[in-house]
Amino acid sequence: MKRYFQPVEKDGSSTKKPTLSASKKNSENGETIGENTKTEPLKFLTWNANSFLLRVKNDWPEFTNFITGFDPDVIAIQEVRIPAAGSKGAPKNPGELKDDTGSAREEKQIMMRALSSPPFSNYRVWWSLADSKYAGTALIIKKCFQPKAVFFNLDKKASKHEPDGRVILAEFETFRILNTYAPNNGWKEEENSFPRRRTWDKRILEFVLQCSDKPLIWCGDLNVSHEEIDVSHPEFFSAAKLNGYVPPNKEDCGQPGFTLAERKRFANILKEGKLIDAYRLLHKEKDMEQGFSWSGHPIGKYRGKRMRIDYFIVSEKLKDRILVCDMHGKGIELKGFYGSDHCPVTLVLSEASSINTRESDFSI
């Protein structure tokens, strides 16, 4: 492992654990909020890290330089892949990192040191984790932009976490931000495949309809490419099979994330929820070099095959405030992916009172 941080202290050390923020209780849901707040966030970043811990160990200097340059107010992470706290056979705490073994404590300390060092020392972190090293999300928000409430499910129920830690919802004064890691559709009609994704899409639709009282910013790895322009090779992905299996329903055929069934459901969510795909609003033409957020392995049949499955979806009410929405990785060699198979995606909104702010003011 590359040593970008001080060596981990042995068990029993009196070293003080890092504190992420000074805070007070939020009576609405038990979460803590910062003492000093400013106006609402305008700069957002989403990234499927494909193991946040590995990115800290192997790719942290490059990623922190990117964060320093862009200076986001909110960072949404998917595929954290850190287990939730709780010993074997005991109930888990999805809001805390596992630390009941020597290796788990070391991994937790590595992560906490990274997030307690600049530029992340100016942020507070919320976790929603799976029981094992699978899935999981994190929401990292500047301390001066603390939300009114934070939930970890689509039902807005205090303390409940979605299975596998796939949801974090932060509510601010004038909008909500939803960070999700959507389950993969899979290849076959199985218990944890097509039905699971259909159920997820149904619940997302219900959520956006029930929460229409306030504008929404929905981001994350949504695991769907909406239209043909959103994949590098539409014919390849449409005809893709696993071990020759062909689903009985033609709309379930093809690459997970690019089946007709998924794409139709996604289109319906956008239509019924009055939502805008921020990237496609600003980028009308296909960009074979930098127009996709996920890229296949550089070796094998997926070399050069790419998909746009990471999004910022925003309410139509925010449409005129969208200044920038960009992807920051390019090429078969995955430049700007920082070790993941997904690249970061950014969104910049103008202030509500000054929607004509120049885009160049937010370049990095």
- pLDDT tens readout for residues 290-303: 999 999 988 889 99
User: Tell me, what's the pLDDT at 19?
Assistant: 39
What's the number of domains the chain is made of? 1
Q: How confident is the model at residue 278 (pLDDT cuts 50, 70, 90)?
A: very high
Express as a percent the part of the chain with pLDDT over 90.
79
Catalytic residues: 181, 221, 342
Is the CA virtual torsion 146, 147, 152, 158 positive or negative?
positive
Helix 260-272 / helix 194-210 crossing angle, nearest 10 deg: 10
Q: Annotation-wise, does 223 bind a ligand?
A: yes
User: Tell me, what's the pLDDT at 41?
Assistant: 97
Buried b / exposed e along 153-188 (16+ C-beta atoms within 10 A): bbebeeeebbebbbbbbbbbeebbbbbbbbbbbbbe
Q: Is residue 31 part of a domain?
A: no
Q: What is the mean pLDDT of the chain?
A: 89
Q: Is residue 36 part of a domain?
A: no
pLDDT for 317-361, tens place per residue? 999 999 999 999 999 889 999 999 999 999 999 998 754 444 445
Q: Is residue 7 part of a domain?
A: no
Q: Annotation-wise, does 341 bind a ligand?
A: yes
User: Tell me, what's the pLDDT at 275?
Assistant: 98
User: Tell me, what's the pLDDT at 12?
Assistant: 38
Q: Is residue 356 part of a domain?
A: no
DSSP 187-254: SSS-TTSHHHHHHHHHHHHHHHHHTTTS-EEEEEE-----SGGGBS-HHHHHH--BTTB--SSGGG-S
Helices (H) and strands (E) in the chain, counts: 7, 18
Q: What is the CATH number of the domain that holds 231?
A: 3.60.10.10
Q: Is residue 285 part of a domain?
A: yes
pLDDT for 88-131, tens place per residue? 888 999 999 999 999 999 999 999 999 999 999 999 999 999 99
Q: Is residue 27 part of a domain?
A: no
What range does the domain containing 159 cover? 43-349
pLDDT for 23-70, tens place per residue? 444 433 444 444 455 689 999 999 999 999 999 999 999 999 999 999
Q: Which residue has the higher pLDDT, 29 or 206?
A: 206
Q: Annotation-wise, does 35 bind a ligand?
A: no
23 in Cβ contact with 33 (< 8 Å): yes
Q: Annotation-wise, does 48 bind a ligand?
A: yes
Q: Is residue 362 part of a domain?
A: no
Cα–Cα distance measured from residue 337 to residue 101, given in angstroms and rounded to the nearest whole number: 31
Q: Is residue 20 part of a domain?
A: no
Q: Annotation-wise, does 342 bind a ligand?
A: yes
